[in-house]
C-alpha cells in the first residue's frame, strides 16, 4: 500500500466512527432526561425511549469496535508503523507512548518519566 491508500483507509475509519458518534449523540439527546437511570425509571420507559436507549448502547458498542478494529490500526499504518498485528499492538503502543513522552518533554531521555 502507498501513503495515499493509508490516508484513504484512515479517512474511511474516521467517517464510520463519526456516523456511530452522531447517531449515538442523537439517541443521548432523546433519553438524557431519564438519567441517572435507575430500575424504576427503566421499568417505566416508553417503547420509543427503550428504542433510543437500545440505539445508544448499540452505537456505543459499534463505535468502540470501529475504533479498535479500524481507526486504531489505520492510525498506526498512517504513522508508518506497518500493518496492524494484534499480537504486537501492545509493543507498538508502548513505542509510540515513549516517542510521545520524548516529544512532549523535549529531549528528556525516552523511557524516563519526568518528575514534577
SS3 37: coil
CA distance 109 to 74: 28
Tens digit of each residue's pLDDT, the chain (116 residues): 777 888 899 999 999 999 999 999 999 999 999 999 999 999 999 999 999 999 999 999 999 999 988 999 898 888 887 666 655 666 767 777 776 776 666 555 545 554 44
Contacts 24+ apart (CB under 8 A), 96-101: none
Amino acid at each position: 500500500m502507498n501513503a495515499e491508500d493509508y490516508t484513504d483507509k484512515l479517512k474511511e475509519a474516521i467517517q464510520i466512527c463519526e456516523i456511530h458518534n452522531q447517531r449515538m449523540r442523537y439517541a443521548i439527546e432523546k433519553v438524557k432526561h431519564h438519567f441517572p437511570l435507575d430500575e424504576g425509571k427503566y421499568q417505566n420507559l416508553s417503547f420509543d425511549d427503550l428504542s433510543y436507549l437500545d440505539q445508544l448502547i448499540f452505537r456505543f458498542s459499534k463505535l468502540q469496535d470501529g475504533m479498535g478494529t479500524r481507526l486504531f490500526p489505520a492510525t498506526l499504518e498512517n504513522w508508518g508503523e506497518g500493518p496492524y498485528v494484534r499480537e504486537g499492538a501492545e509493543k507498538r503502543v508502548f513505542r509510540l507512548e515513549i516517542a510521545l513522552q520524548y516529544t512532549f518533554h523535549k529531549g528528556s531521555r525516552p523511557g524516563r518519566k519526568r518528575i514534577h
